Chains A and B, each alone.
Chain A
Amino acid sequence: MKKYRKVLRDIWKAPEGKVSLFILVLFVFLAVTADWISPYDPYDITQRGFPLEAPSKEYPLGTDGFGVDILSQIIHGSRVSLTIGFVTGIGIAFMGGFIGVMAGTYGGLADLFSMRAVDFIMVLPGLPIMILLMTTLGSSFWVMVMIFVLFGWASVARVTRAIVLSERKRGYVEAARCAGAKKSHILLRHLLPATYSILFVTAAFAAGGSILAEAGLAFLGFGDPRLVSWGKMLNYARTYNAMVLGAWWWIIFPGIAVFLTSFSIMMLGVALEKTFNPRLRERDR
């Protein structure tokens, strides 16, 4: 427990860490309390104002083409983005970590097959294949999560495998083996913990990336039809000609929300990287 508190303190000390934690906590707060703090309920069709109202006291960020308050949509949309970031980040770290550690520890055919799969997935052009999959499997929240994890695990697996391979040659692992430790013991007590730091960092980057990818897919019309999300707001803004109608607030604010969440999570990744790997600080100074 003490170790984790130290990591948290180190993150807080780095300037990136402070900014990113502040923004993240703000958005998490918005997502959790959305039902109480958002001025209107974007899912309730009786709570509509006039369409395309510019930002005012009543509608701080204006209304969209249907008269729905933009601020309320952004508050409720944070749920979709944060959940997708959180779930895919964890999913990618688990799947990539598991396959990478297995390939690195056991080697042989498992290693060969998983690394060929990694090579295959990493050359694939993501977006067109995601569209193909979402067209055939249907667009829902969980299909999207599944696709992101399916595309994201490969690079994580490659990195963890490399770490396990180098760690295996270290003296303490050799010593454990000489002392008669079982392979499973070495795996669980020595090799797996060595990969934790990189898994946290990659999970953060994967989460930031998947928030952007969700926004892009929702913008193209592949978002979950039942949920309000930032990408979908931008999709509607484009479909209903927000630009030509002069409704700049309908375009600008959802994009800022996407940027801020993704940016803060990625910065958190950088801060984590620096606390786990102090050598990096020297190299990049």
Chain B
Amino acid sequence: MTLSYLVKRILIMILTVFLAVTLSFILIRSLPGDPAERYYGDPRLPEEIKEEIKAVFGLDKPLITQYFIFIGNAFRGDLGVSYTYRRNVVGVILERLPWTLMLTVVPTVLSMFVALWIGTFIAFNRGKKFDRFMRFFAFGLNSVPTFWLALLLVMGTGFYLNIFPLQGMFDPLESGMARVISILHHAALPWITLFIVGMPSFAIQVRNIALNILGEDFIITAKAKGLREQEIRRKHVLRNALGPLFSLLTLRIAGLVGGAVLIETIFSWKGMGLLVLEASKNSDYPLLQATVLMTIVLVILANFLADVLQAVFDPRVIYT
């Protein structure tokens, strides 16, 4: 890991965020209607008060000045005021973020461990029945709409069998330890859904990584030394798979945060995804814009982290 590589990656990252902020500013501003009007609510307000509101939000200045103010504010973490919540959008989003992370990180990490085990196993037993089955299963799952699978699971286990609650995040009547258990009970089904959807394709990715490693010279050496298969799996394959694996993991979490809208809708899970939908239904443009921007920043950060981790774990990565 050289310093120049790190600096270059950070510069590209900042540039990407900058581009995303600019594009979203252009998109939101090209909408018809005066953005200040949204805050007055009542058009009969006296002119001076309207002017004052405009001045507070900087809407009386020329568009290009507004753009620079917006950029400056965005990098300072101020993305405007929500029409519906009437407060800083970043505050609203930060309240929702932990719930989305909780929903997505747990099943992803869990499926990583299971996929690691299954993936290396089928790589060693390549072409056998179980390998073929897993690959077909993962491929088929690609075509199953995740939200539909979630609906079926809710219907089966929640409605007919009555094991899990149908929706929501916790029982508001419970408090203390009982509330924690209630949250876990409510999170179980979304976790199971995301695990079922994510694990098989993860295992196939691990399998492909492992197959690449199995073709390397040091594996032949290890076999020639007479190491047992289990030892090769643990000492050589797993250790070398860590780099690419970490990058897969961060990318997956990023993808899930983006795709959380559907799962959160089905389970009425009040995270970032549902916030996007809510803001869209209420035409709350600052909130919508900010939530999407925050998701973009999160994904870009995850990408950055993935690249750096890969470089740390695998010194052979070429820095370009």
Residues of A within 8 A of B (CB): 120, 123-129, 131-136, 208, 212, 215-216, 219-221, 234, 237-238, 243-244, 248, 251-252, 254-255, 258-259, 262-263, 266, 270, 284-285
Contacts and interface: CB of A to CB of B under 8 A. Distances in A.
A131 B277 contact: yes
Contacts of B94: none
B147 A125 contact: no
B65 interface: no
B152 A255 contact: yes
A123 B145 contact: no
B304 to A, nearest CB: 10
User: Which secondary structure dominates chain A's binding surface?
Assistant: helix
Contacts of B303: 123
Contacts of B261: 127-128, 131, 220
A220 B277 contact: yes
B175 interface: no
B128 to A, nearest CB: 11
Task: Pick from A220, A221, A244 the residue with the most CB of B within 10 Å.
Answer: A220
Interface of B: 16, 19-20, 24, 27-28, 30-31, 127, 135, 139-140, 142-148, 151-152, 154-155, 159, 166, 254-255, 257-259, 261-262, 265-266, 273, 276-277, 280-281, 283, 285, 288-289, 291-292, 295-296, 299-300, 303
User: Which secondary structure dominates chain B's binding surface?
Assistant: helix
A120 B281 CA distance: 28
Nearest to A208: B143
B262 to A, nearest CB: 6
A129 B259 CA distance: 11
A138 to B, nearest CB: 11
Nearest to A266: B143
A125 B145 contact: no
Given A123-B300, A266-B139, A128 B144 contact: no
A212 B145 contact: yes
A83 to B, nearest CB: 18
Contact of B288 (A132, A258, A270, A284): A132
A59 B319 CA distance: 63
Contacts of A136: 27-28, 30-31, 285
A136 B258 CA distance: 19
Task: Pick from B16, B147, B277 the residue with the most CB of A within 10 Å.
Answer: B147
Contacts of A221: 281
A238 B167 CA distance: 12
Nearest to B151: A251
B159 A212 contact: no
A175 B174 CA distance: 78
B311 to A, nearest CB: 17
A270 B139 contact: yes
A125 B254 contact: yes
A243 B151 contact: yes
17 contacts: A123-B16, A125-B259, A126-B258, A127-B273, A128-B273, A129-B292, A216-B145, A216-B147, A219-B145, A220-B265, A234-B148, A238-B266, A243-B151, A244-B166, A251-B155, A266-B142, A285-B127
B296 to A, nearest CB: 6
A47 B82 CA distance: 45
Q: Which 7 A-B pairs have the closest CB atoms?
A: A125-B258, A255-B148, A263-B143, A262-B143, A135-B280, A128-B292, A132-B292
B292 A248 contact: no
A127 B258 contact: yes
Contacts of B145: 212, 215-216, 219, 255, 258-259, 262
B27 A132 contact: yes
A219 B262 contact: yes
Task: Pick from A124, A128, A131 the residue with the most CB of B within 10 Å.
Answer: A128
Contacts of B159: 243-244
Contacts of B299: 123-125
